[in-house]
Amino acid sequence: MTQKIAWIIDSLGYLSPELAARSDVFVAPLTIHFGTDSYVDGESLTTDELYEKINTTKSIPTTSQPSAGYFEKLYRSLKEEGYDCAIAVHISSKLSGTFASSNAGAELAHFTVHTVDSLSMSYGMTYMLERGIETYEETKSIEQTMQVIQNLVAKLQNYILIGKLDQLYKGGRMSGVQYFLGSLLKMKPVVHMNDEGLLIPYDKVRSEKRGVQYLIDRVTEKADRMTSCLYIMHGNVEERAIALKEAIHKQIPNLDIRIGEISSSIAVHAGEETLAILWFEDDGTTS
Q: How far is CA 21 from each of CA 17, 18, 25, 35, 110, rounded to the nearest angstrom? A: 6, 5, 8, 34, 28
**One-character DSSP codes across 130-150:** HHHHHHHHHH--HHHHHHHHH
Asked if residue 169 belongs to a domain, the reply is: yes
Contact 203, 215 (CB under 8 A): no
Which residues neighbour 201 within 8 Å (Cβ) at sequence distance 6 or greater? 189, 190, 191
More confident: 236 or 47: 236
More confident: 286 or 229: 229
**One-character DSSP codes across 147-167:** HHHHHHTT-EEEEEE---SHH
* 165 and 270 both lie in a single domain: yes
pLDDT tier at 90, thresholds 50, 70, 90:
very high
The arithmetic mean of pLDDT across residues 176-200, rounded, is 67
pLDDT digits (tens, 9 = 90+) for 101-134: 999 999 999 999 999 999 999 999 999 999 999 9
* 111 and 204 both lie in a single domain: no
The arithmetic mean of pLDDT across residues 52-76, rounded, is 89
* 183 and 121 both lie in a single domain: no
Confidence check: pLDDT of 42 > 90: no
Q: Beta strands 230-234 and 275-280: pairing type? A: antiparallel
Confidence check: pLDDT of 73 > 90: yes
Number of domains composing the chain: 2
The range of the structural domain enclosing residue 124 comes to 5-30+65-152
Confidence check: pLDDT of 84 > 70: yes
End position of a domain, from candidates 104, 125, 152: 152
Asked if residue 11 belongs to a domain, the reply is: yes
* 97 and 189 both lie in a single domain: no
